[in-house]
């Protein structure tokens, strides 16, 4: 139940500039997902190429919101959670949806794409829980444990090259294979490797 003193819209009024940039990150990710959905429902939108603009733009927003929080506005109480949730949309769900859209639609593929997203969620949850213990005296986290989820933009870039060359659907590189009753596209191994790297204990210095 809403407290009597809480006014409508007060949540948004509590956001600082960094939070609004984080929401722009999530908005770009959702735009990419909607374009994927429109394409696979049979519309075959000619604007699918916009995905390869929106997701890099999400990455720009992800970098910019951190810079803005550190140098200009500081963090709001919701800033850290907003950032993680936005990253799941833009760098977890959206790249997985893009792979499915471009032809990785076998059941084995779907399981690997789900694994990739689950790894991204787990990676962010681990960071949120351990960030305080990993921070130095200034409060700055010294290193990432596992590759950051925005690293999935590398997969997006690879798929963008294939899309530009027309290597999608039945022409997707490495082809497809029937394993048991289900179809498997070897290209989905990229997602599996990305997922493994995210949940690994590899230490990556944080800029």
Residue 207 exposed, middle or buried by CB count within 10 Å (0-12, 13-18, 19+): exposed
**Mean pLDDT, all residues of the chain:** 88
pLDDT at 108 over 50: yes
Which one is predicted more confidently, 17 or 104? 104
Lowest mean pLDDT among 61-70, 83-92, 104-113, 119-128: 61-70
pTM over 0.85: yes
Which one is predicted more confidently, 171 or 5? 171
The pair of structure tokens assigned to 10 is 């007060």
- pLDDT, residue 15, reads 80
- Count other C-beta atoms under 10 Å from residue 136's C-beta: 8
Q: Taken in order 175, 117, 122, 204, is the CA torsion positive or negative?
A: positive
pLDDT at 169 over 70: yes
Instruction: Assign 2 a pLDDT band (cuts: 50, 70, 90).
Output: very low
Write out pLDDT tens, residues 42-53. 877 789 999 999
Instruction: Assign 144 a pLDDT band (cuts: 50, 70, 90).
Output: confident
Q: Are 28 and 89 in contact (CB under 8 A)?
A: no
Beta bridge partners of 195: none
């Amino acid at each position: 139940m809403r407290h009597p003193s809480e006014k409508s819209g007060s949540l948004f009024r509590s956001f600082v500039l960094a939070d609004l940039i984080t929401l722009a990150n999530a908005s770009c990710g959702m735009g990419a997902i909607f374009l994927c959905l429109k394409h696979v429902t049979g519309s075959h939108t000619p604007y699918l190429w916009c995905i390869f603009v929106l997701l890099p733009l999400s990455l720009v927003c992800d970098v910019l919101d951190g810079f803005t929080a550190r140098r200009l506005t500081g963090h709001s109480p919701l800033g850290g959670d907003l950032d993680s949730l936005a990253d799941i949309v833009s760098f977890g769900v959206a790249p997985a949806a893009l792979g499915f859209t471009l032809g990785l639609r076998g059941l084995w593929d779907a399981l690997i794409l789900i694994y990739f997203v689950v790894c991204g969620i787990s990676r962010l949850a681990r960071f949120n829980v351990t960030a305080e213990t990993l921070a130095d005296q200034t409060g700055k986290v010294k290193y990432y444990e596992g590759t950051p989820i925005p690293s999935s933009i590398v997969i997006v870039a690879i798929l963008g090259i294939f899309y530009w060359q027309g290597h999608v659907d039945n022409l997707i590189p490495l082809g497809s294979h029937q394993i048991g009753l289900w179809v498997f596209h070897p290209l989905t191994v990229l997602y599996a490797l990305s997922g493994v790297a995210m949940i690994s204990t590899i230490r990556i210095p944080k800029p």
